[in-house]
Amino acid sequence: MPKQTVEEALRHADINVDASLNRLFQLLRIPSISCDAHYTRQCHEAASWLANELSGIGFDASIRATTGNPVVVGHSKQAAGPHILFYGHYDVQPAEPLDEWESQPFEPTLRAQPNGETHIVARGASDDKGQLLTFIEACRAWKATAGRLPVGVSMFFEGEEESGSPSMQAFLDKFEQELLADVMLLCDTALWNDSVPAITVMFRGLLEEEIRVTCANRDLHSGAYGNAARNPIQVLAELIASLRGQDGKVAIEGFYDNVVELDSTVRDELLKLNFDAEQFLAAAGLSQSAGDVSYSVMEQIWTRPSCEINGIAGGYCGVGLKTIIPCSALAKVSFRLVDGQDPESIRSKFRSHICARTPRDCKVQFTGLTGSPASVIGPRSPYLDCARAALRQEWGCESVLIGSGGSIPIVSIVRQRLGLESLPIGFARADNHHHSPNEKYDLYTFQKGIRSWIRILAELSRCTTDRVEAEP
């Protein structure tokens, strides 16, 4: 792709950034919350909006029904050269607690900062609507200036990522052949710091369980039954406490079996980052790690599995005091898994651990929620090299390879089902308040994201052509 053509696309994106921002605001105003069935209509509205935008820039776009929220698929194919699958999600987290927002969560605002920057503030601004739009706007710039994209592109937008992608396996059963490509790109990750881009090469898997402990057949008067009746909140608390040891390790029998060690190339890249654990913890108001003390904080959050209690409920929590021994108590538990750990095997070990420690006269009920394995992306890929070259051109520095303690289920799903490696390249910042009140996306990185994708698409076309010609 001639350099002049790339520069024309970049110039078009810069000149039309206000129009791009207006489109982002339209999408942000749609409260497409996937975990709450009351917002099903809005999820369909967001899917329709995206399909219309893709059609407007020449994609063959349509909405596909799933067992949950719809998927948007669009194609812009080329007769020759590589074909890219781009993934994003249009669903968002709930906005609560609403009283902590400085503006309405679904009425996006531009907020000027003392340092001269501007923040786009709204639920979904960074996760993932703003990030998703950077790629669409890059394609728009290519279409407007060159009349076509430098590579073939398929778009794949789901509406249940924030709920664990429960419909994806069934969707791929029906449409996986249509989504075959050479590599998948996605933009649901972050920069290393405000001025250094990153490619995320590992994600932890996710396993979620709900556990309910029931003792008596009804709530009991604490005066009449105190001492004589087991309290399920205490039982549950003791069971939860047994999941972690004093050294921070997960205490479930066999939990660390089959954990795969890091690739040496990735390990060397991570060591170069000089991760500041003290600053990382201080940003959350903390001063010391609670994890396995034999590993650094960076290793704990990126490369080691974890067990966390996400919620606990039982008894009376209203105003005043209700003197009861409740009949049941509930907890929500999640595990972040690493390479080599099978979600269903960990689920079985967790349940066995709990059942072995549940007292007589108590019943325990499990509800299995989502489960997805970890994803590790190979560092020796021509596509990775091309992406890093493009990022170097735009940002004026070398990109870095990083890990993520979070989970993006689609990365492992497409690897298993389609045999596709992924390139997760995001332009969010660490302080973007994902899943929290006052979520924001920096206007600067929104613009830089569009420009970065313009360059990456051009570089991928050259890189792949060179690679194919070199093969015997």
* pLDDT tens-digit readout, 98-145: 999 999 999 999 999 999 999 999 999 999 999 999 999 999 999 999
pLDDT given at position 265 = 80
Task: Name 53's Cβ contacts closer than 8 Å, sequence gap at least 6.
Answer: 23, 136
85 and 8 part of one domain: yes
Beta strands in 338-372 (DSSP E): 363-372
310 and 401 part of one domain: no
In a domain, 159, yes or no: yes
pLDDT given at position 467 = 40
342 and 415 part of one domain: no
pLDDT given at position 379 = 74
Please list the residues that pair with 205 across neighbouring strands.
337
**Residue at which a domain ends, from 322, 353, 372:** 372
Domain count, the chain: 2
In a domain, 286, yes or no: no
239 and 336 part of one domain: yes
CB 163 within 8 A of CB 78: no
CB 148 within 8 A of CB 154: no
**Residue at which a domain ends, from 372, 397, 431:** 372
Separation between Cα atoms, residue 248 and residue 241, nearest integer Å: 11
Helices (H) and strands (E) in the chain, counts: 14, 18
pLDDT given at position 380 = 78
Beta strands in 342-396 (DSSP E): 363-372, 375-376
395: exposed, middle or buried (Cβ count in 10 Å: 0-12, 13-18, 19+): middle
In a domain, 280, yes or no: no
In a domain, 277, yes or no: no
pLDDT given at position 396 = 97
Look-up of token digits 């369980």: 209
196 and 212 part of one domain: no
83 and 169 part of one domain: yes
Which amino acid appears at position 42 of this protein? Q
Residues in the chain where the model's pLDDT stays below 50 = 465-472
In a domain, 265, yes or no: no
239 and 388 part of one domain: no
Q: Is 422 helix (H, G, I), strand (E, B) or coil?
A: strand
In a domain, 296, yes or no: no
What CATH number is associated with residue 426? 3.40.630.10
In a domain, 107, yes or no: yes
pLDDT given at position 1 = 64
* Residue-range definition of the domain harbouring residue 227: 205-259+305-372
101 and 123 part of one domain: yes
Q: Please give the model's pTM, rounded to 2 decimal places.
A: 0.84
**Residue at which a domain ends, from 372, 406, 423:** 372
pLDDT given at position 468 = 39
394 and 435 part of one domain: yes
pLDDT given at position 469 = 37
What CATH number is associated with residue 309? 3.30.70.360
60 and 149 part of one domain: yes
Beta strands in 323-445 (DSSP E): 324-325, 328-337, 363-372, 375-376, 400-404, 422-424, 440-442
pLDDT given at position 416 = 87
Q: What is the average pLDDT value for the chain, to the nearest integer? A: 93
173 and 313 part of one domain: no
What does the chain come to in residues? Answer: 472
398 and 462 part of one domain: yes
In a domain, 439, yes or no: yes
What percent of the chain has a predicted confidence (pLDDT) above 90?
83
